[in-house]
């Protein structure tokens, strides 16, 4: 599968792999590094941090660092359920996010005005493998806040990820999202949700977008309860950046994936993307455009 932006120029074959050329501009190198850092965070940061805590606590003289962190974590454990963790606007404005968005590239397209004095629930589809398009919404990589004028964006999830160190600091649970809407009924807050979740992940493949809507009405009920307006957001190209092995519903692998999804809120998939120095395989997404279309408001009546 070809990469976007003419990656084949100057690439060579080595041991069956399409290797990246050596004369790639520094901007593209920075884009790849930014995407690698974010994908590594999603895939490995939670488990790596847990192993680090165990190592420091039981095998070094720095056990007190693990104890201090766990003490703080326990004392602040309710943060995702009571309005969120420790988000900082300057973090979302770092240049790393601009490099991230330009890698694909990502573009935010607005089809209607969103008054800044209302609350919104932005429902993003499709999930794809990692819902990468939401990164352009919750950061300034694609200039989202200059296009959509809201005072604050809150990414919300309903699975184990909110308890990871990086998730704990920046994500809301669905309970916490309701708390934000309850406390700030008319202040331009926007909750970002991906209703299809890991069930859409299991069906994600290039050229196809399977939307899972059955039994996914929780965000609609939240909007009705708190008077927030619904805003459909669609990421065209989200499912094109990764390929994966899709297993039949009756297979043991699919049953195992669904079992993990039931207990953990996410399902492991075997993905095929590209690598840092070659284009044939790896965990990095392919360079394919993701156009994030923010559609017209759907007002709801309480």
pLDDT of the residue at 302: 63
* Helix axes 174-183 and 218-226, enclosed angle (nearest 10): 20
Res 109 pLDDT > 70:
yes
pLDDT of the residue at 5: 44
Q: What is the pTM of this model?
A: 0.88
pLDDT of the residue at 1: 41
pLDDT of the residue at 54: 94
Distance CA 16, CA 12 (A): 10
Per DSSP, 77 falls in state T
pLDDT of the residue at 247: 85
pLDDT of the residue at 217: 86
Kindly state the average pLDDT of the residues 38-47: 88
Q: How many Cβ atoms are within 10 Å of 291's Cβ, its own excluded? A: 16
- 240 pLDDT tier (thresholds 50, 70, 90): very high
- 79 or 155, which is more confident: 155
Is the Cβ–Cβ distance between 219 and 123 less than 8 Å?
Answer: yes
Kindly state the average pLDDT of the residues 146-156: 81
Res 13 pLDDT > 90:
no
Per DSSP, 60 falls in state S
Res 159 pLDDT > 70:
no
pLDDT of the residue at 170: 75
* Helix axes 46-59 and 63-75, enclosed angle (nearest 10): 130
**Tokens linked to 107:** 């573009």
Burial degree of 241 (CB within 10 A; 0-12, 13-18, 19+): buried
Q: CA angle 187-192-198, nearest 5°?
A: 160
pLDDT of the residue at 126: 94
pLDDT of the residue at 293: 96
Mean pLDDT rounded to a whole number for the chain: 86
Kindly state the average pLDDT of the residues 224-244: 94
% pLDDT > 70, the chain? 93
């Amino acid at each position: 599968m070809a990469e976007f932006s003419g990656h084949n120029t100057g690439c060579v074959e080595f041991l069956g792999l399409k290797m990246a050329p050596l004369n790639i501009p520094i901007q593209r190198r920075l884009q790849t590094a930014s995407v690698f850092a974010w994908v590594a965070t999603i895939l490995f940061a939670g488990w790596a941090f847990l192993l680090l805590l165990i190592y420091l606590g039981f095998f070094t003289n720095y056990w007190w660092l693990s104890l201090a962190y766990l003490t703080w974590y326990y004392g602040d454990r309710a943060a995702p359920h009571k309005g969120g963790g420790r988000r900082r606007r300057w973090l979302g404005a770092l240049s790393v996010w601009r490099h991230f968005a330009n890698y694909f590239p990502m573009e935010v397209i607005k089809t209607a005005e969103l008054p800044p004095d209302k609350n919104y629930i932005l429902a993003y589809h499709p999930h794809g493998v990692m819902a990468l398009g939401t990164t352009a919404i919750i950061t300034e990589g694609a200039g989202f806040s200059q296009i959509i004028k809201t005072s604050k964006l809150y990414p919300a999830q309903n699975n184990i990820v909110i308890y990871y160190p990086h998730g704990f600091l920046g994500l809301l649970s669905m309970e916490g999202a309701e708390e934000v809407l309850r406390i700030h009924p008319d202040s331009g807050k926007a909750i970002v949700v991906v209703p299809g979740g890991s069930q859409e992940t299991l069906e994600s493949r290039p050229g196809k977008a399977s939307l899972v809507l059955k039994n996914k009405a929780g965000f609609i009920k939240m909007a009705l309860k708190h008077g927030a307006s619904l805003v459909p957001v669609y990421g065209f190209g989200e499912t094109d950046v990764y390929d994966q092995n899709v297993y039949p519903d009756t297979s043991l692998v699919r049953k195992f994936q669904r079992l993990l999804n039931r207990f953990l809120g996410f399902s492991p998939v075997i993905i095929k993307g590209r690598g840092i120095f070659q284009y044939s395989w790896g965990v990095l997404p392919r360079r394919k455009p993701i156009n994030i279309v923010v559609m017209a408001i759907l007002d709801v009546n309480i």
